[in-house]
Amino acid sequence: MATAVQIVERENYLNSNYGIKSWLLTTDHKRIAVLYLISITAMFWLGGFFAMMIRLELLTPAGDLVSSDTYNKLFTMHGIIMVFFFLIPSVPAVLGNFLVPLMVGAKDLAFPRVNLLSWYLYMAGAITALTAMVTGGVDTGWTFYTPFSTTYSNTHVIGAAIGIFIAGFSSILTGLNFIVTIHRMRAPGMTWRRLPLFCWSNYAAAVIMVLGTPVIAITLLLVALERAFNIGVFNPQLGGDPLLFQHLFWFYSHPAVYIMILPGMGVISEIVCCFSRKRAFGYEFIALASIAIAVLGFLVWAHHMFVAGISVYAALVFSLLSYLVAIPSAVKVFNWTATMYKGSISYNTPMLYAFGFIGLFTVGGLTGIFLSSLGLDVHVHDTYFVIAHFHYVMVGGMVMAYMAGLHFWWPKITGKMYPEAWAKLSALLVFVGFNTTFFPLFILGYMGSPRRYHAYPPEFQVLNVLSTAGASILAVGYVLPMIYFVWSLRYGADAGPNPWNATGLEWMTSSPPPTHNFDETPVVTWEAYDYEHQPQEEITVGH
Amino acid sequence: MAERAEHNEETGSVGHIAPAKLYVAIWAVLMVLTLTTVLVSMVDIGPMNIVVALVIATIKGTLVVLFFMHLRYSPKLTMATVIAAVFWLFLLLSLTMTDYLTRAWSTYPGH
């Protein structure tokens, strides 16, 4: 920078070339991550709109805002969009796509063109599912239980099923890309024991994506085929077995919960270490707990079927196995808190979200133990208790982690800082709004209020009003980041390569990173989270 | 790791050329097994019909994967991937069977 002539913006992945074609035909993992970011944000708002409609209907005990048929379609579309088109791709396809190659010191993912294909498949799946919704909707619930979905529902089941079938391939390809990249493209010196925990958890999620997704894809294809051609797979009238559908569906859809939460846990591991200025307590245990969750997650699916008429002996086995998942999950929670112990903690926005994650995930996880115990599950099955439980894990856990990660790496992705004060406010609003929305549902469920009805007895109204009020606070908490992230693109302060003074290869390149990530291949000679040997600079940004 | 990855980029996939005679032999075995499946299906041996058909199909699939798809000459990581896929299929089938095989054990009247 000695002469004025050289003050030119450094070449990066955003300014290397321009035009819509340079984005739609890109094979750069960072640009594909941005494409995913825009797409899943749109889906998040659509799913959120359906959620608000549900909450508005439940403001009063009478089913007055929408008819029961419309209500069935609303919660079905909310579920399908949020699960298959937002939560599953959220952290892996956006943050994972952007960060895994940077974190392992590679120039790109192993198969860049396959990566672009995965985005197109995602879009094709989303458009197919949305078409089914626009032309009349689906009313089966996101679970597509048979024989209702194959025989009795008069809605667009086939379109929605095909949409999820297509999007499944996008998920498989992303998982495949991560596995091969992490195995084969690590920089010299980046051993498995030096791998950032974010990569470990995305690796674990990738294993589930590759091994589990084909099962749901084929199962939903069978639903479509039975509906179209009356082949007897699931419908007992045609010689099929409806419980077979539930076995096949949950064989994927329970592990899918871990596809959603594991990458989120990776985000939290990165953030807790950075903002505590400590190495991860029990690094190996956190890493292997991810793998353990991925494997154990496949052995528990029938806890969704305890009241469906499965064998009591099978139910015993699945109940016991379900308890086991609590062990690696608890290992992670305890290790994060132990990492913070005697750490030099700073309360920046990503850390606030991480605190939220740890608390809410713990509540969500522990109520999961309630549901895996055979006796209690009979009482609260299909009530709002279940709704509260999985929203604590999915929204309180996963969306919190996604927001934490988005704030943490926003300076890396865009080169700009977001406004810290507004971001802290949004984190607070999300936490308060979330708890106000979903804690009353635990009580409602425990009192026996069943899910999936648009009307309810008047004595349940107070808790429902509380929940709807909370949802509007939560909505404000999500709208704020949308506004200030866009604002920061133009007006945000320049972030510099490493605003958090964090370890990790992604912070050693400029922000936004150049197209090929690193000017020369990095050589790693240190362990992950070597904060104790870093110069102890205060985090100055945003104070 | 990095060296092997570069090596693969230069040479494409892991190259191994098996002799044509081997392919013909495997093809012949597959044909014999297909014929066996057809013939066994014409004999009524009760529930063993489906068992025999599945065992033969598994052997055929294994031969195709090992020789035609070159798994036998592939690196250990590829083998581990295939073994994982088969193992997960085993998990799906065996844990589902814990339900189907024990559903009738219930002692409640009428169930």
**pLDDT reading at B2 higher than 70:** no
Interface predicted TM-score (ipTM) of this complex, two decimals: 0.85
How do residues B69-101 score in pLDDT, each as one tens digit? 999 999 998 899 999 999 999 999 999 999 999
Q: Which residues contact A280 (CB under 8 A, 6 or more apart)?
A: A197, A269, A272, A273, A286, A335, A339, A528, A529
Least confident of A348-352, B41-45, B54-58: B41-45
Q: Which domains, from first to last, does chain A contain?
A: 28-339+487-532 (1.20.210.10)
Looking at CA atoms only, how far is residue A319 from chain B in angstroms? 13
**pLDDT reading at A10 higher than 90:** no
> Do residues A384 and A444 lie in contact, with contact meaning Cβ atoms separated by under 8 Å?
yes
**pLDDT reading at A66 higher than 70:** yes
Gap between the Cα atoms of A211 and B80, Å rounded? 13
pLDDT at A90: 94
Q: What is the CA radius of gyration of chain B?
A: 21
A311–chain B Cβ distance below 8 A for any pair: yes
**pLDDT reading at A440 higher than 50:** yes
Q: Both tokens of residue A486?
A: 């866009």
Least confident of A225-229, A331-335, A383-387: A225-229
Q: What residues of chain A lie within 8 A of the CB of B103, using their CB?
A: 310-311, 314
How confident is residue B15, by pLDDT bands cut at 50, 70 and 90?
A: low
Task: Measure the N-to-C terminal CA separation of chain A; round to a whole number of Å.
Answer: 29
Instruction: State whether the Cα torsion A158-A44-A200-A113 is positive or negative.
Output: positive
pLDDT at A184: 93
Q: Which residue has the higher pLDDT, A537 or A42?
A: A42
- CA distances to A12, A15, A26, A262 from A18, rounded to whole Å, are 12, 7, 11, 35
Q: Both tokens of residue A96?
A: 């994972």
DSSP letter at A298? Answer: G
Gap between the Cα atoms of A436 and A476, Å rounded? 13
- Burial pattern A206-242, b for ≥16 Cβ within 10 A else e, equals bbbbbbbbbbbbebbbbbbbbbeeeeebbbeeeebbb
Query: What does the mean pLDDT of chain A come to?
Result: 94
**pLDDT reading at B24 higher than 60:** yes
**Average pLDDT for residues A356-364, to the nearest whole number?**
97
Q: What residues of chain A lie within 8 A of the CB of B4, using their CB?
A: 184
Task: Measure the N-to-C terminal CA separation of chain B; round to a whole number of Å.
Answer: 58
**pLDDT reading at A543 higher than 70:** no
Q: What residues of chain B lie within 8 A of the CB of A518, using their CB?
A: none
How do residues A298-319 score in pLDDT, each as one tens digit? 999 999 999 998 999 999 999 9
> Do residues A85 and A167 lie in contact, with contact meaning Cβ atoms separated by under 8 Å?
yes
How confident is residue A370, by pLDDT bands cut at 50, 70 and 90?
A: very high
- Of A394, A407, A390, A272, nearest to A334 (Cα)? A272
- For tokens 């949305």, name the residue: A130
Q: Is the Cβ pair A311, B103 closer than 8 Å?
A: yes
pLDDT at A8: 59
Looking at CA atoms only, how far is residue A156 from chain B in angstroms? 29
Query: Which A-chain residues 204-223 have CB contacts (< 8 A) with chain B?
Result: 207, 211-212, 215
> Do residues A262 and A201 lie in contact, with contact meaning Cβ atoms separated by under 8 Å?
yes
Q: What residues of chain B lie within 8 A of the CB of A106, using their CB?
A: none
Gap between the Cα atoms of A115 and A178, Å rounded? 10
Q: Using CB atoms within 10 A of its CB, is residue A56 exposed (0-12), middle (13-18) or buried (19+)?
A: middle
Least confident of A123-127, A506-510, A529-533: A529-533
Domain boundaries, chain B: 1-74, 75-111
How do residues A183-206 score in pLDDT, each as one tens digit? 999 999 999 999 999 999 999 999
A463–chain B Cβ distance below 8 A for any pair: no
How confident is residue B105, by pLDDT bands cut at 50, 70 and 90?
A: confident
**Average pLDDT for residues A467-477, to the nearest whole number?**
97
DSSP letter at A509? Answer: S
Gap between the Cα atoms of A228 and A245, Å rounded? 17
Q: Using CB atoms within 10 A of its CB, is residue A9 exposed (0-12), middle (13-18) or buried (19+)?
A: exposed
pLDDT at A208: 95
Considering only the beta carbons, identify the residue of A183, A298, A301 that sits closest to B88: A298
Q: What percent of chain B has pLDDT over 70?
A: 81
pLDDT at B18: 78
**Average pLDDT for residues B42-50, to the nearest whole number?**
90
Considering only the beta carbons, identify the residue of A184, A207, A314 that sits closest to B99: A314
Q: What residues of chain A lie within 8 A of the CB of B99, using their CB?
A: 243, 247, 302, 310-311, 314
For residue A494, report the phi and psi dihedrals to the nearest 5 degrees: -65, 135
Q: What percent of chain A has pLDDT over 90?
A: 92
> Do residues A407 and A418 lie in contact, with contact meaning Cβ atoms separated by under 8 Å?
yes
Q: Is the Cβ pair A185, B2 closer than 8 Å?
A: yes
**Average pLDDT for residues B97-106, to the nearest whole number?**
87
**Average pLDDT for residues A210-230, to the nearest whole number?**
93
- Of A498, A499, A502, A504, nearest to A527 (Cα)? A504
Q: Is the Cβ pair B2, A186 closer than 8 Å?
A: yes
**pLDDT reading at A248 higher than 70:** yes
- CA distances to A207, A515, B78, B80, B90 from B83, rounded to whole Å, are 13, 37, 9, 5, 10
**Average pLDDT for residues B62-71, to the nearest whole number?**
94
